[in-house]
Amino acid sequence: MIKILSIIGARPQIIKAAAFSRAVKNKFSSFINEKILHTGQHYDFNMSQIFFDELDIPKPDFNLNVGSGSHGEQTAKMISGIEQLLLNEPFDALLVYGDTNSTLAGAVAASKLHIPIIHIEAGLRSFNMLMPEEINRIVCDHLSSLLFTPTETGFQNLKNEGFFTSKSTFKNGKKRFVFNSGDIMYDNSLHFAQIAEKKSNILQKYNLITDHYVLVTIHRDNNTDDCKRLTAIFTALLDIAEDNNIKIILPLHPRTTKLLQTNLSSVVYKRLNSSKQLFLIPPVSFLEMILLEKNAKIIMTDSGGVQKEAYFFQKPCVILRPETEWVEIVEQNAGIIADADCDRIKKSYRELLNKKITYLPVFGKGQAAEYIVEKIIDYFT
Ligand code: UD1
Ligand code: UDP
């Protein structure tokens, strides 16, 4: 039996954990004993517990309840808590997802104790070191023993960084292995799409008609914390809603909610409050989000996960960032990088609605979790 400690903390990691835990439970429970540690990075009901309730994710065995804080403070509390646990209880491996502070903390704590690290969603690069996530993912990749990239681009990025010539050997005597597993989020979108149809009535709740609304999410620190950028994005959204007489629905991350009043210009803040077409709503559940994505005319986002889900559900996507790790989406003409530039956002909206898009299967086959578990079993037996 291989005993694994999975680290989760932020919303997208909780969702990703659903796919891995489902694969273990359905097919591999006699090989893998998974325990889950929630760092407590996200803690509001609709940023955390809602996903456990809805997606059948096992209750975390441990919760550090670290809450919010500066990068150093938050990450330090996590490292300390994870280290304590790893010292108290033996694990064969530690598993982390993506690129958040919870990912970094897990990787740092385990590496110092010579516990092999499994990194799911490895190899992604924005080549923008101003992003906290870029720092987290580079460190985590370099500390990991088993790396699973979601795309061929991720695989090539690691090749370019010398991962395939690495001579480093880990304490268990094994070298590093890298696999392109496909995207574990795609597993979830396929698995939960039908279930969402039956269980959610979010379209009725907000009077939304298929193909007659735009879905938007915004939460990146470089957008929320920068008055100029946040104001430019919201100006573009308000203009698009008015010029096209279309509803915009925006499930708002708590980070963004907290900063709207202080970081939007007073003119745009007033416009937003009196708008009859732009609706700010609290963060929604994953099943609700899937339905919002599937039925939207177009999606605009700075989220990594939402960019991909737009692609999975064959929706064009305006990317509200200066670059993307998910370059395949742009290469397929399914997304345009508009950054936080008001004119570019409006132009990209128009352009994407008139584009012929082919959605090639660049994120795998939707069976990433099973593939990953099989490779983990091979590695440890
Ligand atoms: C984090 C990740 C980011 C990921 C995002 C997913 C890092 C560095 N960033 O960003 O990569 O895309 O999660 O959503 O790890 N807050 C609440 N309630 C909560 C959680 C957060 O009110 O349940 C507020 C707090 O004011 C907090 C702020 O949101 O300070 C930011 O939260 P934090 O977890 O630090 O970063 P995210 O922006 O969520
Ligand atoms: N999501 C959700 N409810 C929301 C917004 C997003 O369930 O109100 C889901 C979304 O479908 C995707 C994941 O959260 O699976 C993306 O998380 P987020 O945008 O917070 O982070 P990122 O992917 O950018 O790291």
- pLDDT tens per residue, range 68-98: 999 999 999 999 999 999 999 999 999 999 9
**Ligand 1 atom closest to the CA of 71, numbered from 1:** 8
The SS3 assignment for 24 reads helix
Residue 167 has pLDDT above 80, yes or no: no
Measured CA to CA, the distance from residue 362 to residue 352 in angstroms comes to 19
User: Average pLDDT, stretch 247-272?
Assistant: 97
Fold classification of 2-183+364-380 (topology level)? Rossmann fold (3.40.50)
Any atom of ligand 2 within 6 Å of the Cβ of 15: yes
Amino acid identity of residue 22, one-letter, is R
Contacts of 47 (CB under 8 A, 6+ apart): 11, 254, 283
Q: Do domains 2-183+364-380 and 192-353 have the same CATH topology?
A: yes
Cite the active site residues. 219
Burial environment of residue 354 by CB neighbours within 10 A (0 to 12, 13 to 18, 19 or more):
exposed
What confidence score (pLDDT) does residue 175 get?
84
What confidence score (pLDDT) does residue 173 get?
82
| CATH number listed for the domain at residues 192-353 | 3.40.50.2000
What confidence score (pLDDT) does residue 258 get?
97
Any atom of ligand 2 within 6 Å of the Cβ of 305: yes
Give the whole-number percent of the chain exceeding pLDDT 90: 95
Ligand 1 pocket test: which of 100, 185, 230, 306 has the largest number of ligand atoms within 8 Å of its C-beta?
Answer: 100
What confidence score (pLDDT) does residue 170 get?
82
Any atom of ligand 2 within 6 Å of the Cβ of 100: no
Measured CA to CA, the distance from residue 288 to residue 295 in angstroms comes to 11
What confidence score (pLDDT) does residue 169 get?
79
Ligand nearest to the CA of 310: 2
- What are 324-370's pLDDT values in tens digits? 999 999 999 999 999 999 999 999 999 999 999 999 999 999 999 99
Q: Where are the domains of the chain?
A: 2-183+364-380, 192-353
CA of 76 to the centre of ligand 2 (A): 25
- What are 52-73's pLDDT values in tens digits? 999 999 999 999 999 999 999 9
Residue 9 half-sphere exposure toward CB, CA atoms < 13 A: 28
- CB atoms closer than 10 angstroms to residue 74: 21
Residue 168 has pLDDT above 90, yes or no: no
